[in-house]
Amino acid sequence: MNALEPALAGGTLERPLLAPRFAALAAEVEELPLEAFLADLGRRARIYADLARSLRVDVLFVNDADEEPDVLADLLQRVRATVPTTLGAVVTGPATRGDMPSVLAAARAVAEAGAEVVLVRETVPLADNYPRLSNPLWGSLKFFRAVGVLLAPNPLAAPGPYLPCLSVAADVSHALAVAPGAASAAGRATALITHTEDLAGHVPVRELQAAIARL
């Protein structure tokens, strides 16, 4: 069972799941340029698994930017073979991308490959018709037993087919997004805590553990 399913149904968890975003920062651990690191799936899988074990995160996000669906699927399968941590992936949402078929393809690929948490990132304000526009996306994730987390400038703090990612704790089940390196203030209904963006460029590698401890 997906650990976030109770929250999606309106319930509460014993404690929020910690889901820091360091997929790009991991390149600095290996002292590699980001582009070279991202191209080496074997190395990425190994370092992500090592970080998940040493940092004891609850959800391991394996990317921070859009990549080819088959590449992410391959990466997820490699990580899954080495560490039992719940896996997550970041997908740009339909409002930002303007292309629902490609969003669906990306979301299905990562969910089918083992991502139980899919962070749908929107960088534009959501229009009134967003629930109708995005409904096929949440339905697809549910089919694969993945939970969608919506990170947007104006997410609706209301029950829905996804967990809204908020900047301040609310009374409904939600995820909480904090700035890189900042401390969180989770509430009773907070189901997951993550960062607003990858820690790369914001937190030095030597402070990674401390930054996660503040979540």
pLDDT digits (tens, 9 = 90+) for 55-111: 999 999 999 999 999 999 999 999 999 999 999 999 999 999 999 999 999 999 999
**Residue 93: which of 107, 114, 74, 76 has the closest Cα?**
107
Which residues have C-beta within 8 Å of that of residue 58, sequence separation ≥ 6? 3, 17, 18, 19, 85, 86
68-105 burial, b for 16+ CB within 10 Å, e for fewer? ebeebbbbbebbbeebebbbbbbbbbbbebeeeeebbb
- Give the CB-side neighbour count of residue 15, counting CA atoms within 13 A: 6
Q: How far is CA 3 from the centre of its chain?
A: 14
What's the distance, Cα to Cα, between the start and end of the chain in Å? 24
Angle formed by the axes of helices 100-112 and 130-143, nearest 10°:
20
Q: 158-184, pLDDT tens digit by residue?
A: 667 999 999 999 888 999 999 999 999
Q: pLDDT at residue 203 above 90?
A: yes
Q: Report residue 55 as tokens.
A: 């940092």
pLDDT attached to residue 34: 95
* Backbone torsions φ then ψ of 127, nearest 5 degrees: -80, 170
Q: Is 42 exposed, middle or buried (0-12, 13-18, 19+ CB in 10 A)?
A: exposed
Per-residue pLDDT, averaged over 191-209, amounts to 96
pLDDT category at 24 given cuts 50, 70, 90 is very high
pTM of the full predicted structure? Answer: 0.95
What is the token pair recorded at 57? 């995160």
What the chain holds in terms of domains, given with CATH numbers, is 5-213 (3.20.20.210)
